């Protein structure tokens, strides 16, 4: 697309805009064929169910923007959940103190990832593959697989299960995280370097920006967010077990990529991630309300991901073909 095109047309074809259209189409579709889908109660439920994955996806966005990845967030959620339970039940700490300690654990775990990736310059995929096993393994070892933490006080369970001023109680935390990440990634000069790091880390280094510290911060943030998600998860379920958050990292990555962030880094947005999370959450709820088997939600998510990827590549391919065609026309044959 050349620069002479009007802005609204450019915006219309942006990935996020298309995803928004898909999301609205999903909503209308499931409202039509589903039972009691488009109700306020269900909207609140969709929001509640997608809080933890939404938080993880938000935290994953800066990481993927810088060209990294974090496969350990789901396992860290499980580890933080059981540690939270242990701090509260076995160390007899009051809930807020236990929560703070859990955030500390999350930050430390994120710091482990950060240290291995930035200090030792190890590839994020494999480091976080290792910590993915390690964190889950620690959770299983600490609980010996069998211990679960329940009977939390009602004032705590309120966070995950009840409504505050009409919206789900965990929503303000989620909205706060959304605002935080959106400001961080899009408005602060600090956060704008994330995309630059994805494109050309060496260029960023020459600009005098401490590359390692920025990248490390993204992983530490992810650790803290995993801990917050773990607390909300425990409140929602009323129970903390070692297998909490199983599979959440893949969901988060799917949401981020669906939202238009390139897995190689460099391009992407927080609102795209948000739309990605919403698209998947609406799909899952819609499938149940339409009385279809749950497997369908998984298959459609996979198909949606492939379509999203293909559609982001097609315009480039078409313009590439066009450019080659016109180049052929213009070039003169060598005599």
Partner 1 sequence: MKRFLSYFCSLAVAASMIGCGKNSEAPAAGGNQTSKPAGKKLTVALLPKSKGNAYFISCQKGAQKAAGELGDELIFDGPTGTDPAKQNEIVENWITLGVDVIAAACENKEGISTALRKAQSKGIKVITYDADALPDARSFFVNQATPQGIGYTLMDQAAQLCSSNAEFAIITASLTAANQQEWQKFIEEDRAKNYPNMKLVAVKPCDDLKDKAQSETTALLSTYPNLKLVMAICSPGVPGAAEAVKQAGKTGQVKVIGLGLPNENKIYVHGGVTQAVVLWNTMDLGYLTVQAADALARGTLKPGDTSFKAGSQTYEIQGDNIMLGKPFVFTKDNIDQFDF
Partner 2 sequence: MKKYFRELSVAGALGILLIVLAILAPSFYSPQPLLSLAARASVSLVVALGMALVIIAREIDISVGSMFAVCSVCAGLFAAMHWPLALVIVASILVGAVFGAFNGALVAGLGLPSIVVTLATMVTWQEGLRWLRQGEFVNLPDGMQWFGLSQRLGQWTLVIGSIALLILLALAMKHLSIGRFIYAVGSDAEVARLSGIPPKFTTFLIFVFMGALVGLAAIMNIVQSPQVDPQSGNGLELKVIAAVVVGGVSISGGRGNLWGVFAGLLLLACISPALTHLHIEAYWEKAIQGVIILLAVVAEGLRSRKALDHG
Could you give phi then psi for residue 4, rounded to 5 degrees? -75, -10
Q: Based on the number of CB atoms within 10 Å of its own CB, is 292 exposed (0-12), middle (13-18) or buried (19 or more)?
A: middle
Size of site (CB under 8 A) for partner 1: 55
Judged by CB under 8 A, which stretch of 5-13, 93-101, 191-199, 257-265 contacts partner 2? 257-265
Burial 191-203 (b: 16+ CB within 10 A, else e): bebbbbbbbebee
Q: Which does 11 bind (CB under 5 to 8 A by kind): partner 1, partner 2, none?
A: partner 1
Shortest spacing between CB 309 and partner 1, in angstroms: 21
Residue 163 backbone phi and psi in degrees, to 5:
-110, 145
Nearer to partner 2, 144 or 331 (CB): 144
When CB distances are held under 5 to 8 angstroms depending on the partner's kind, the choice from partner 1, partner 2, none that residue 273 binds is none
Looking at 115-123, 200-208, 213-221, 241-249, which segment touches partner 1 (CB under 8 A)?
Answer: 241-249
Measured distance CA(29)–CA(177) in Å, rounded: 30
CA–CA gap between residue 63 and residue 57 (Å, rounded)? 10
Cβ density class 34-46: b for 16+ within 10 Å, e for less: beebeeeebbeeb
Least Å distance, CB 237 to partner 1, is 4
Q: How far is the CB of 145 from partner 1 (least distance, A)?
A: 3
The least CB distance from residue 185 to partner 1, in Å, is: 13
In this structure, what DSSP letter does residue 240 have? B
Distance separating the N- and C-terminal Cα atoms of the chain: 34
Binding flag, residue 289, partner 1 (CB under 8 A): yes
Residue 129 CB, shortest distance to partner 2, in Å, is 6
Which region, judged by CB under 8 A, interacts with partner 2, from 102-110, 180-188, 212-220, 296-304? 296-304
Exposed, middle or buried by CB within 10 Å (0-12, 13-18, 19+), for 325? exposed
Binders in 118-157 for partner 2, by CB under 8 A:
120-123, 125-127, 129-138, 140-141, 144-145
For partner 1, the binding residues (CB under 8 A) are 7-8, 11, 14, 16-17, 20, 24, 27, 34-43, 45, 48-49, 140, 143-146, 148, 150-151, 157, 161, 233, 236-239, 241-248, 271, 284-285, 288-289, 291, 293-295, 298
């Amino acid at each position: 697309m050349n620069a002479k095109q009007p802005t609204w047309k450019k915006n219309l074809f942006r990935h996020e805009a298309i995803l928004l259209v898909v999301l609205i189409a999903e909503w209308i579709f499931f409202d039509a064929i589903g039972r009691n889908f488009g109700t306020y109660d269900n909207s609140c439920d969709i929001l509640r169910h997608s809080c933890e994955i939404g938080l993880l996806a938000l935290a994953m966005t800066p990481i993927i923007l810088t060209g990294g990845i974090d496969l350990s967030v789901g396992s860290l959620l499980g580890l933080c959940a059981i540690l939270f339970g242990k701090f509260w039940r076995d160390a007899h700490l009051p809930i807020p103190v236990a929560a703070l300690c859990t955030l500390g654990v999350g930050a430390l775990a994120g710091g482990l990832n950060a240290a291995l990736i930035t200090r030792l310059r190890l590839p994020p995929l494999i480091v976080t593959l290792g910590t993915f096993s390690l964190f889950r393994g620690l959770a299983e070892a600490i609980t010996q697989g069998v211990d679960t933490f329940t009977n939390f006080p009602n004032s705590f369970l309120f966070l995950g299960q009840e409504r505050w001023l009409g919206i789900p109680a965990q929503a303000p935390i989620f909205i706060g995280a959304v605002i935080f990440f959106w400001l961080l990634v899009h408005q602060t000069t600090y956060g704008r370097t994330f995309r630059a790091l994805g494109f050309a880390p060496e260029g960023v280094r020459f600009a005098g920006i401490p590359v390692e510290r920025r990248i490390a911060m993204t992983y530490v943030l992810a650790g803290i967010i995993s801990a917050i998600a773990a607390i909300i998860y425990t409140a929602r379920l009323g129970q903390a077990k070692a297998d909490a958050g199983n599979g959440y990292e893949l969901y988060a990555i799917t949401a981020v990529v669906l939202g238009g962030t390139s897995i190689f880094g460099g391009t992407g947005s927080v609102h795209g991630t948000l739309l990605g999370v919403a698209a998947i959450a609406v799909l899952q709820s819609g499938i149940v309300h339409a009385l279809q088997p749950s497997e369908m939600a998984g298959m459609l998510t996979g198909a949606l991901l492939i379509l999203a990827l293909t559609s982001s590549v097609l315009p480039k391919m078409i313009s590439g073909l066009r450019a080659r065609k016109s180049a052929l026309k213009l070039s003169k044959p060598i005599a």
